[in-house]
Amino acid sequence: MSPPSMHELWSKLGSAGLTVGAMPVAEEAHTPWYVRVMLGISGLIAAMFLLAFVGVGFSFVMENKIASLTVGLMVIAGAYALFRTLPQGDFASMFALAVSIAGQALVVVGILGFFDHATVRATPVALIAVIEALLALAMPNFIHRTASAYAAGLAFAYACEASGAHFIAAGVVAAAVAWAWLNEARLGKLHSIVTPVGYGLTLAFVQIEGTALIGHSTAALFGSQTVYKGWPWIGEALVLAALLVSAWTLLGRAGWVLPERRAVLALIAAAAIGAASFKAPGIAGGLMIVLLGFANGNRVLVGLGIAALLFYVSGYYYLLDATLLLKSGVLAATAVALLAARWLVLNVVMPKERLDA
């Protein structure tokens, strides 16, 4: 919108009594998200070249665990200084991101060096998760915070699986995702931290549920032979609990309280759909992401949740050990259930006369 049009719009709003005083000064335009994604990918590639340079020119740093850890922390501190000194420069941000990724890689090498590679399990990965969580809170950069939160979520899941408590990873990360997005508005002063951390944890959660769907663990992504043993349903039960708590909170914000019929039906529907996760992992988590995104008016989050749901449902469909006739019947039954749910919402939960009122 051109400046004259903006002033004209502001005058009309003032005449209608919707605004008071002079039009605020326009803030500097933010870099679009897709440009940030491209910068993040560029930073990752640059970090690889930087690591290759360090590995070739300063091989003693990579070979010495203390030197690797020390230099890595120094490099991360330098990246932090760059972010603070030049917060608005795209090139400076990309360079600082590359430097930080290289520093984190050195820190990981140093931490793993303090443990016997034959017995590396939960402890070093848990330390890495803590470091990534701290970086997600401290680094003043959206992409860095998102990537660090994502790495922290995956490292936490790896540590849980390596320690034998694989069934709690999905539930804990789901609870963190729900808490972040449910409190986004209340934590307005911390918006620059909560939003990127929320996105990072959401991406990690989607990946954790995706690996559970295909019967593998997050640790398998890094070459580990860890497999699920015992109580696999506990993880989905915890995710379902996070879904129900999120639904309950959102219903309260909308003024739907028990024992109203619409509130009861909404909770029953959430529980029924979420229960499908015990057979098709990910359904409850994907639905939770969609609900949180819709409640916050966040189109990106809604799109991510829908994409996750499509992936989980498609994965379950293609991995289902059944005939095509049975699969067709499942699809038909799902369609009938969705149409019935739509009719229930339009005619029982939110009838037209209530909406008009």
Look at residue 227 and tell me whether its pLDDT is greater than 60.
Answer: no
In whole angstroms, what is the distance from residue 249 CA to residue 270 CA? Answer: 13
Q: In terms of Cα–Cα distance, which of 178, 173, 174, 162 is closest to 127?
A: 162
Residue ranges of the alpha helices (H) in the chain?
3-15, 33-57, 59-63, 65-85, 90-113, 122-138, 142-162, 169-182, 191-213, 233-254, 261-275, 283-296, 299-319, 324-344, 352-356
Contact 294, 313 (CB under 8 A): no
Q: Which of 128-132, 213-217, 276-280, 334-338 has the lowest mean pLDDT?
A: 213-217
Q: What percent of the chain has pLDDT over 70?
A: 75
Q: What is the pLDDT of residue 135?
A: 93
Q: What is the pLDDT of residue 357?
A: 46
Highest averaged pLDDT of the listed ranges 238-242, 265-269, 331-335: 238-242
Average pLDDT over residues 71-80: 89
Average pLDDT over residues 109-116: 80
In whole angstroms, what is the distance from residue 205 CA to residue 281 CA? Answer: 12
Q: What percent of the chain has pLDDT over 90?
A: 18
Residue type at 287 in one-letter notation: L
In whole angstroms, what is the distance from residue 341 CA to residue 128 CA? Answer: 44
Q: What is the pLDDT of residue 342?
A: 77
Average pLDDT over residues 108-129: 77
Q: Which residue has the higher pLDDT, 179 or 210?
A: 179
Average pLDDT over residues 67-72: 86
Q: Which of 7-16, 188-197, 272-281 has the lowest mean pLDDT?
A: 7-16
Local confidence band at 271 (pLDDT 50, 70, 90 cut-offs): confident
Q: Residue 112 is encoded by which pair of tokens?
A: 């793993």
In whole angstroms, what is the distance from residue 205 CA to residue 172 CA? Answer: 9
Contact 145, 139 (CB under 8 A): yes
Q: What is the pLDDT of residue 180?
A: 92
Q: Residue 79 is encoded by which pair of tokens?
A: 């990246």
Look at residue 147 and tell me whether its pLDDT is greater than 50.
Answer: yes
Q: Which residue has the higher pLDDT, 204 or 347?
A: 204
Q: Which residue has the higher pLDDT, 131 or 221?
A: 131
Q: What is the pLDDT of residue 339?
A: 82
Look at residue 215 and tell me whether its pLDDT is greater than 50.
Answer: yes
Angle of CA points 120, 210, 175, to nearest 5°: 80
Question: For the segment 277-336, what is each residue's pLDDT rounded down to a tens digit?
Answer: 777 778 888 889 999 999 888 899 999 999 988 888 887 777 777 777 877 877 787 778
In whole angstroms, what is the distance from residue 97 CA to residue 89 CA? Answer: 12
Residue 29 DSSP label: P
DSSP-derived secondary structure for 260-329: -HHHHHHHHHHHHHHHGGGTSTTHHHHHHHHHHHHHHT-HHHHHHHHHHHHHHHHHHHHH--S-HHHHHH
Q: Residue 269 is encoded by which pair of tokens?
A: 């529907």
Q: What is the pLDDT of residue 120?
A: 53
Look at residue 106 and tell me whether its pLDDT is greater than 50.
Answer: yes
Q: How many Å separate Cα 104 from the centre of its chain?
A: 20
Domain boundaries, the chain: 324-357
Contact 242, 283 (CB under 8 A): no
Local confidence band at 56 (pLDDT 50, 70, 90 cut-offs): low
In whole angstroms, what is the distance from residue 133 CA to residue 150 CA? Answer: 9
Q: In terms of Cα–Cα distance, which of 131, 207, 224 is closest to 170?
A: 207
Q: Residue 78 is encoded by which pair of tokens?
A: 């330098």
Local confidence band at 269 (pLDDT 50, 70, 90 cut-offs): confident
Q: Residue 275 is encoded by which pair of tokens?
A: 């229960």
Look at residue 28 and tell me whether its pLDDT is greater than 50.
Answer: no
Question: For the segment 182-208, what is each residue's pLDDT rounded down to a tens digit?
Answer: 998 888 788 889 999 999 999 999 988
